[in-house]
Structure 1
Amino acid sequence: MYRVAIVGRPNVGKSSLFNRIIGKRKAIVEDIPGVTRDRIVSTAEWRGIPFEIVDTGGYIEGDKDIFAPYIRKQIEKELDLSDAFILVVDGKEGITPADQEIAKILHRTDKPVYIAVNKIDNPENEEVVYEFYELGFDKVFPVSSIQKYGVADLLDAVVEDIPHYEKESIKEETKKEDRDLIKVAIVGKPNAGKSSLLNAILGEERAVVSDIPGTTRDVVDTLFEWNGQKFIFLDTAGLRKKSKVDYGIEFFSVGRTLESIKKADVIVHVIDAQQGATEQDTKIAHLIQKYTKPAVIVINKIDTVPPKSEVLNRIKNQVRERLYFIPYAPIVMTSAKNRKGIKQLLREIIEVYNQAWKRVGTGQLNRAIKQILSLRQPPSYQGKPLKIYYATQLEGKPPCFLLFVNYPEGFKEHFVRFLENNLRTVLGFEKAPIKLLFRGRDESRD
């Protein structure tokens, strides 16, 4: 798909323009330079023509920011990946040395470049745009991403320059319904190696990686294909303890992470091998359980611990014991640094996804319940025996089974867990969560 990258120095309004183009608040917008550190990719549409739009980290001249080298590298990588560029500048500040430095980089490509002179809130101030022709590009547009002024003219120019053959192929591509796309949310506490893991999967330095907790503050969507299977990976900001989250950027990051968990098909929960499962990891796993999400537990950074089977088994057992309430989630041990365990991780994601979509016949389901009840009968309730008459699987995922019983309120958590665990084993849902719903039958109480 045709790809357009938004570039520029910090705090000129790149993320605001990105959000305006895609029509929703996806990139974090805050009046602090350098808020966006990663490349955020989304699909936009204008005049019926879809295209990819990329919000890059703010370019920082020199080494004034600890993330400057990473961000500069991300922008330069877009020279190869993107088909066109929108250079956002601040109309109120005029041309700065950083703007000139970015323009020099963009002059290395013969791809279309559009100058968006942002923060022009009044048409009477449009004359300030003429100064920006000095940057050497002839497509200069006054815009206000906040007030939506001038954005339509900018997008008209962008889609007009998309080659005809690209437009036709894009239209055909969007007509195809792709039901096999797996949405994967990568979650975990800060500095567990989530971005490194994503980069190892993709084979490129896609997300900014550093040893500084909280580097990733946006949710980064990335389309990826492996062995014919398509994925969208969401590399989310690390979830911190509530007491350590201030209102502002990190507050929104945590909110985005929770939204990603809700929307994802599969959750990849990344745990640091050196630390094992911590209290914060148990809280994250409880969210996975709360939203009944298929999950893969990744014990990352195994290159940092002794490569002995007894050590690795001890770490694995500690994680399994601490996260006992999501027993269905398979555990994969990885080294993102050495790309070890990546293929196994991808295979497990596909497997748990397929199990989460699996359906069983009503006859098979009821035979399974009868088999399980032969092992252990439900307890009595108010002096009367509990009965399960029959069950059926409901539509959707994860697998949800409706059980018709005499006293729904009598089925307590410990027996429900017994049913769930055994149904997963008997029906082949070992790696997927299942939900049981109980409904009473009035005639059974006569």
Structure 2
Amino acid sequence: MAFKVAIVGRPNVGKSTLFNRLVGRRIAIVDDTPGVTRDRRVHPGRLQDLRFDVVDTAGFEVAAADTLEGRMRAQTEAAISEADLIVFMMDGRAGLMPDDRAFADVVRRSGKPVVLAVNKTDINSAEAGVLEAWNLGLGEPVGLSAEHGRGMVELRDAIHAAMEEAGALEEEAVEAPAAVVDANAMVGDDIDPDEEDPGYDITKPVRIAVVGRPNAGKSTLINQIIGEDRLLTGPEAGITRDSISVDWSFKGRDIKLFDTAGMRRKAKVQQKLEKLSVADTLRAIRFAEVVIVVFDATMPFEKQDLQIADLIMREGRAPIIAFNKWDLIEDRQETLTELHEKTARLLPQVKGLQAIPISAETGRGIDKLFDAAFRTHETWNRRIPTGPLNRWLERATAQHPPPAVAGRRLKVKFITQIKTRPPGFVVSCSRPEAMPQSYVRYLTNGLRETFNITGVPIRMALRTSDNPYAHKAKKKR
């Protein structure tokens, strides 16, 4: 098990900035606004030759347990209890604050080894903050600038000493060296959205993002799935800001779940922080494989619900609808029939879209939800041989021939699948620019029905083959 380092401290002292530097990617949202981070995030990190898991946490705040700040503090305390080493950060520019003393006592009582880091020491006036940090009684402070990379050598030495004392260095030494990562890479950049698989491999983890409007129950759903209060939840809308990944296993299948921030209508997103959260959600959608869209069953199919679902389909991801808060519905059979009818009518872009009623609060329907996710993922990866495709095309064009445009009938000659994830096909035909979209939809729907490609987007491209005699015609002129 990897050595785990938790970064804790007051709000806005630079914990997420240091986290991003240690993991080598800008995956945690950073802003000047205090309290940006709310959930704890775990990611493999490195500092020169050291390898460990680094945990980003919410800022410590004094608040009642039932408030949002109190629940954020509980998440941080859980990270402290799970960590092997605590990096306690304070702001060198602001100096020693009363909350720093209070939270230093919390860290000291945990009994875990502590590295005291004084951030924002890239200006001379911050040196006084380093001297004040001695008053906390947590050992020698390490002055650093997480934003500019100053003091990383000293931080490495302090972490190395703690790992050596814990006997973690021998375990790390046998591991293969981590790949060099691009500091400018974003979350999910290790996935190629157009990657082609030679076949469906059930041993590979499935990447599933959970998206939806604010307060639809996304974080509650993931907590119910994994069986612990891993993500911050509550009645307030818009609690989640970062896209948080959680590893899980269902029926022997490895899954990486992504909780995302709620997406409001674009016109309502004005603040910079919310824009950053929405951008993080869009990246999670783009690099997921299956995307679960959580609808509130008590008020489903709002305009924003439909826009989110349409965005997922345009990105080519495999969508599934989860009608949450099913425990609040009284006439369930009639409501379910109505919801399925609306799904087919309001989201015609993907026929056969899976729609499952669930309750994130009680856990009802979660097994069916993930069974549907695996079926959809397999369809999303499906490859159809060229022979059956062209036999189907011959029957389809014989039953419904292409139309005549400007007195000349269009010819459809050949079809082949060029990619999966989602299934993509190329149709060779004469004058592709003149082919009506209605006939393209006819071919797409025929593919779905014949080869059972339901519930996922299909890409259909039209091309014309080069005329080998075109140059001779030009010479005659």
**Common topology (TM > 0.5):** yes
| CA 381–165 in structure 1, closer or farther in 2 if over 3 Å, else same | farther
Instruction: Give, in whole Å, the separation in 2 of the partners of 1:180 and 1:2.
Output: 25
Q: Counterpart in 2 of 1:327?
A: 351
Q: Normalized against structure 2, the TM-score is what?
A: 0.86
Q: Counterpart in 2 of 1:115?
A: 116
CA contact (8 A) 1:208 1:215 kept: yes
- 1:247 is displaced (CA, Å) by 3.6
Q: Counterpart in 2 of 1:70?
A: 71
CA contact (8 A) 1:406 1:444 kept: no
Helix, strand or coil at the partner of 1:270:
strand
Helix, strand or coil at the partner of 1:144:
coil
Q: If you compute each CA radius of gyration, which structure gives the higher value, 1 or 2?
A: 2
Q: Return 431-440 or 409-418, whichever deviates more.
A: 409-418
Instruction: Give, in whole Å, the separation in 1 of the partners of 2:158 and 2:135.
Output: 20
Instruction: Give, in whole Å, the separation in 1 of the partners of 2:158 and 2:365.
Output: 45
- 1:444 is displaced (CA, Å) by 9.5
- 1:172 is displaced (CA, Å) by 9.0
Task: Give yes or no for the alignment of 1:164 onto 2:165.
Answer: no
Q: Counterpart in 1 of 2:241?
A: 217
Q: Return 119-128 or 53-62, whichever deviates more.
A: 119-128
Q: Counterpart in 2 of 1:404?
A: 428
CA contact (8 A) 2:13 2:89 kept: yes
Task: Give yes or no for the alignment of 1:302 onto 2:302.
Answer: no
| CA 208–408 in structure 1, closer or farther in 2 if over 3 Å, else same | same
Match of 2:392 among 368, 372, 381: 368
Helix, strand or coil at the partner of 1:131:
helix
CA contact (8 A) 2:383 2:420 kept: no
Instruction: Give, in whole Å, the separation in 2 of the partners of 1:288 and 1:251.
Output: 18
Could you list the per-position Cα deviations for residues 154-208 of structure 1 after superposition, in whole angstroms to 9, with x for gaps in the alignment? 134335544035415653999xx99712222211111111111111122111221
Match of 1:252 among 267, 276, 280: 276
Could you list the per-position Cα deviations for residues 73-131 of structure 1 after superposition, in whole angstroms to 9, with x for gaps in the alignment? 10121134332221111122233332233223323434332221111114785463243
Structure 1: 5+ residue runs without aligned partners?
none
CA contact (8 A) 1:299 1:331 kept: yes
CA contact (8 A) 2:91 2:129 kept: no
Task: Give yes or no for the alignment of 1:16 onto 2:23.
Answer: no
CA contact (8 A) 2:220 2:233 kept: yes
Q: Counterpart in 1 of 2:98?
A: 97
Instruction: Give, in whole Å, the separation in 2 of the partners of 1:445 and 1:356.
Output: 40
Question: Percent identity, aligned pairs only?
Answer: 34
Instruction: Give, in whole Å, the separation in 2 of the partners of 1:166 and 1:210.
Output: 40
- 1:249 is displaced (CA, Å) by 0.3
Match of 1:233 among 253, 257, 264: 257
Q: Counterpart in 2 of 1:149?
A: 150
CA contact (8 A) 1:113 1:139 kept: no
Task: Give yes or no for the alignment of 1:393 onto 2:417.
Answer: yes
Q: Normalized against structure 1, the TM-score is what?
A: 0.91
The residue identity in structure 2 corresponding to 1:291 is: E
Instruction: Give, in whole Å, the separation in 1 of the partners of 2:395 and 2:87.
Output: 63
Helix, strand or coil at the partner of 2:158:
helix
The residue identity in structure 2 corresponding to 1:220 is: I
CA contact (8 A) 2:290 2:317 kept: yes
Instruction: Give, in whole Å, the separation in 1 of the partners of 2:468 and 2:235.
Output: 62
Q: Counterpart in 1 of 2:466?
A: 442
The residue identity in structure 2 corresponding to 1:437 is: A
The residue identity in structure 2 corresponding to 1:316 is: H
- 1:440 is displaced (CA, Å) by 0.3
Q: How many residue pairs were aligned? A: 445
Task: Give yes or no for the alignment of 1:349 onto 2:399.
Answer: no
CA contact (8 A) 1:391 1:401 kept: yes
Q: Root-mean-square deviation (CA), in Å?
A: 2.7
Q: Return 109-118 or 270-279, whichever deviates more.
A: 109-118
The residue identity in structure 2 corresponding to 1:35 is: V
| CA 143–98 in structure 1, closer or farther in 2 if over 3 Å, else same | same
| CA 159–347 in structure 1, closer or farther in 2 if over 3 Å, else same | farther
CA contact (8 A) 1:49 1:171 kept: no
Instruction: Give, in whole Å, the separation in 2 of the partners of 1:173 and 1:365.
Output: 44
Q: Counterpart in 2 of 1:379?
A: 403
- 1:307 is displaced (CA, Å) by 4.9
Could you list the per-position Cα deviations for residues 27-60 of structure 1 after superposition, in whole angstroms to 9, with x for gaps in the alignment? 2222222111112233322335543222111111
Structure 2: 5+ residue runs without aligned partners?
180-190, 192-200, 471-477
- 1:274 is displaced (CA, Å) by 0.4
Instruction: Give, in whole Å, the separation in 2 of the partners of 1:353 and 1:265.
Output: 7
Q: Return 258-267 or 271-280, whichever deviates more.
A: 258-267
